[in-house]
Chain A
Amino acid sequence: MYRYDAIDREIVADRAAEFRGQVERRLGGDLTEDQFKPLRLMNGLYLQLHAYMLRIAIPYGSVNAAQMRRFADIARQYDKGYGHFTTRQNLQFHWIKLADTPDILDRLAEVDLHAIQTSGNCIRNVTSDPFAGATAEEVDDPRVWSEVIRQWSTLHPEFSYLPRKFKFAVTASAKDRTAAKVHDIGLALRRSRDGTLGFEVMVGGGQGRTPYLASTIREHLPVGHLLSYIQAILRVYNRHGRRDNIYKARIKILVASLGAEEFARQVEEEWAKIDAPTNDLPDTELARIRAAFTPLAFETLAPHAGAYELAKASDPALARFARNNVKAHKVAGYGIVEVSLKTIGATPGDITAEQMDVVADLAERYGLDDIRVTHEQNLVLPHVKLDDIPAVHAQLAATGLASANINLASDIIACPGLDYCALANARAIPIAQHIAERFSDADHAEKVGELKIKISGCINACGHHHVGHIGILGVDKKGEEFYQLSLGGSGAEDASLAQILGPALPANRVAEAVDQLVEAYLRERQGEERFLDTFRRLGMAPFKEAVYAPAL
């Protein structure tokens, strides 16, 4: 992984010291809350319903064991012994005290972590593929380019006060595990027929109140021009984005109102004015960053892992884990292990300090010191020898982290919702728990197959409900929690926005409705169809009837 150099360390340490001074001035009465609020938000500190919440940036979802252990320490010492991974591959602590925050930031800085640019109208943490460097599908390592964007965008003076927040995703595989098409800019690395590496540049995607899928404005941007080109995009947005209206301030609104073609034309025009050689990344810098991601010391192993196969044959739980949570690695004899944070009955994305320590130990002992966070609120040990998987599985099971449900119906994304979030209309977590319980029979869950359920507690859509196969949005109907279901969304390479199923349902009807949708799917599905495929083939009618007809 990328290691901080002296400059990175200085930036982070300076920033922590600066915030310490700001907190002192706030507590001493020299700063009003109005003056202080933007400063604390720039350091990831929100005031939520019950306490302060600190959001920590996890660059492109990549952490090492020492960093994970530090999260565990902070959870124990300054929070209630747990943390929450988000759809932005970040970590949130929900019970933080303002007075402790400067110490927490110092402790994070010691392991090269911070909370800079996790809030505010700036370029946020870059999303990337949690399988980067491990999957054979990728044409290049997307972390290299994510890191380039991270360095370029950190404290970027021109883009620190954009009309609104700004999110990048970088992917390099045909399979999209980043939800690139619902980011402000999605960058998909592709190799052209002549072998040159370029980005498909997609702009103007997003969720929230007005969801859009990103439009491609460049099919193949040579990678060397990345920085000058995204600078041109940001300049057009910075100039024309709707600063007058918070609901129209995201780039998606600008792209939609101009049309992708006209937007692309303006970007090209702006790009022509930029002196590319002085703005693009020098080859020496790229080489320096790339060196941080050089292939790890993989062993040469037999592709057939005898011990692993034997263990699977005698342990059905391990076999199930292998089917659902272990993915193909680019190196023979290795696997990518997904660690589900969706144990039935647990809070999606939550992890205790003890579990963090176990994951850190496993990463160090079996996983080349590498841990990833997925936007689906799970963790990944990207490099585990197949023959070590039985041991990893056993240790995960001992700490309650061996749920074999990746991509199944109980692997639900849920935002914190009204249980924590000051913006929420309704709770998301208990809804997720109720639904997950209905799929606690693992055979049934596997029979249903891939089903992505995503729940947001309000229209801001942090729970990605617009791209759920089944999306669920909490609304407030005359003071009661109601939930609007929508179907057919996808955040993957086959991206689509979900369509509303029908009138919102009361909380106690939601899990039952999901059951009815699944029953309808099982009745109608053909061959290997996923829920999403059946929906796409048949449309809304049979599903609508399944949920609403019984009430008639």
Chain B
Amino acid sequence: MKAITANRLLDGEVVFWREGRWVERFGEAQLFADDAAAEEAVAVGKGQPTVVVEPYAIDVTEAGAGVAPVSYRERLRALGPTNEPTHGKQAEGGAAIEALLAATGAARSTGRVDLIRRK
């Protein structure tokens, strides 16, 4: 299963694709069973360069308490930093956040790595 994510151009906020819009909550992200459909959505997102930066597909999976990204890094993006539990999306709480917090495994993701290559 896939979801599509990006950072919003204007403020850098982590956003997810949902039926032609970008939403802030992972819990509202559209899930794609079909990889080809996901790639199509990524292509549409790439056509919105003044809205988002570098949209890409991520792997998500049923993780006991609910759906969560497979990669730990993507879960962190969907939650916020672990050292400041009141910062980022996690502050809102709720079942979808709990599901993300409960998921385990997989620190790295593909995608993103070249984002700040000039560091």
Docked complex Cα distance between A246 and B118 (Å): 9
Q: List 23 A-B contacts (CB under 8 A).
A: A27-B9, A32-B49, A47-B53, A47-B115, A48-B12, A49-B77, A49-B81, A50-B80, A50-B87, A51-B11, A52-B11, A94-B81, A95-B87, A97-B10, A97-B11, A98-B9, A121-B118, A419-B82, A423-B113, A425-B108, A479-B71, A479-B107, A481-B107
10 additional A-B residue pairs with CB within 8 Å, beyond A37-B118, A38-B118, A51-B12: A26-B50, A27-B10, A33-B49, A47-B115, A49-B77, A49-B81, A50-B87, A97-B10, A422-B112, A480-B105
Residue-wise, chain B 76-94 has the 8 Å CB interface mask toward A (1 for contact) of 1100111110011000000
State whether the Cβ of B60 lies closer than 8 Å to any Cβ in chain A. no
Q: How far is the CB of A476 from chain B (nearest CB, A)?
A: 4
Docked complex Cα distance between A46 and B7 (Å): 12
Residue-wise, chain A 402-432 has the 8 Å CB interface mask toward B (1 for contact) of 0000000000000000111011111101100
Q: A422, B82: Cβ atoms under 8 Å? A: no
State whether the Cβ of B106 lies closer than 8 Å to any Cβ in chain A. yes
State whether the Cβ of A460 lies closer than 8 Å to any Cβ in chain B. yes
Contact of A476 among B50, B76, B107 (CB under 8 A): B107
- Given A95-B87, A420-B81, A423-B119, answer yes or no on A47-B108 (Cβ-Cβ < 8 Å): no
Residue of A nearest to B71 (CB): A479
Residue of A nearest to B13 (CB): A51
Q: How far is the CB of A164 from chain B (nearest CB, A)?
A: 10
Q: How far is the CB of B46 from chain A (nearest CB, A)?
A: 10
- Given A50-B12, A418-B107, answer yes or no on A481-B72 (Cβ-Cβ < 8 Å): yes
Q: How far is the CB of A185 from chain B (nearest CB, A)?
A: 20
Q: B81, A479: Cβ atoms under 8 Å? A: no
Residue-wise, chain A 163-181 has the 8 Å CB interface mask toward B (1 for contact) of 0000000000000000000
A-B residue pairs, 5 tightest by C-beta: A479-B106, A419-B81, A97-B11, A51-B12, A52-B12
State whether the Cβ of A347 lies closer than 8 Å to any Cβ in chain B. yes
User: Which residues 355-406 of A sit at the B interface, judged by CB distance below 8 A?
Assistant: none
State whether the Cβ of A323 lies closer than 8 Å to any Cβ in chain B. no
Docked complex Cα distance between A418 and B87 (Å): 15
Q: CB-CB < 8 A to B12: which residues of A?
A: 47-48, 50-52, 96-98
Q: CB-CB < 8 A to B116: which residues of A?
A: 41, 46-48, 422-423
Docked complex Cα distance between A119 and B76 (Å): 25
Q: B113, A426: Cβ atoms under 8 Å? A: no
Residue of B nearest to A420 (CB): B81
Docked complex Cα distance between A27 and B48 (Å): 11
State whether the Cβ of A80 lies closer than 8 Å to any Cβ in chain B. yes
Q: CB-CB < 8 A to A119: which residues of B?
A: 118-119
Q: A427, B82: Cβ atoms under 8 Å? A: yes
State whether the Cβ of A303 lies closer than 8 Å to any Cβ in chain B. no
Q: CB-CB < 8 A to B21: which residues of A?
A: none
Docked complex Cα distance between A426 and B14 (Å): 19
State whether the Cβ of B73 lies closer than 8 Å to any Cβ in chain A. yes
Residue of B nearest to A30 (CB): B50
Contact of B117 among A51, A94, A96, A246 (CB under 8 A): A246
Q: CB-CB < 8 A to A479: which residues of B?
A: 71-72, 105-108
Docked complex Cα distance between A99 and B88 (Å): 19
Q: A99, B73: Cβ atoms under 8 Å? A: no
Docked complex Cα distance between A424 and B72 (Å): 11
Q: B49, A120: Cβ atoms under 8 Å? A: no
Docked complex Cα distance between A48 and B50 (Å): 18
Q: CB-CB < 8 A to A550: which residues of B?
A: none
Q: CB-CB < 8 A to B112: which residues of A?
A: 422
User: Which residues 35-66 of A sit at the B interface, judged by CB distance below 8 A?
Assistant: 37-38, 41, 46-52
Residue of A nearest to B88 (CB): A50
Q: CB-CB < 8 A to B72: which residues of A?
A: 418, 479, 481
Docked complex Cα distance between A422 and B54 (Å): 13
Docked complex Cα distance between A422 and B76 (Å): 11
Q: How far is the CB of A395 from chain B (nearest CB, A)?
A: 25
Residue-wise, chain B 1-35 has the 8 Å CB interface mask toward A (1 for contact) of 00000010111111000000000000000000000
Docked complex Cα distance between A479 and B10 (Å): 31
State whether the Cβ of A28 lies closer than 8 Å to any Cβ in chain B. yes
Q: CB-CB < 8 A to A49: which residues of B?
A: 14, 73, 76-77, 81
Q: How far is the CB of A510 from chain B (nearest CB, A)?
A: 15
Q: A429, B87: Cβ atoms under 8 Å? A: no
Q: CB-CB < 8 A to A295: which residues of B?
A: none
State whether the Cβ of A90 lies closer than 8 Å to any Cβ in chain B. no
Q: CB-CB < 8 A to B84: which residues of A?
A: 80, 347, 419
- Given A47-B12, A50-B14, A479-B71, answer yes or no on A29-B49 (Cβ-Cβ < 8 Å): yes
Q: CB-CB < 8 A to B88: which residues of A?
A: 50
Docked complex Cα distance between A50 and B9 (Å): 12
Residue of A nearest to B9 (CB): A98
Q: How far is the CB of A414 from chain B (nearest CB, A)?
A: 10
Residue of B nearest to A98 (CB): B10
User: Which residues 49-63 of B sit at the A interface, judged by CB distance below 8 A?
Assistant: 49-50, 53-54
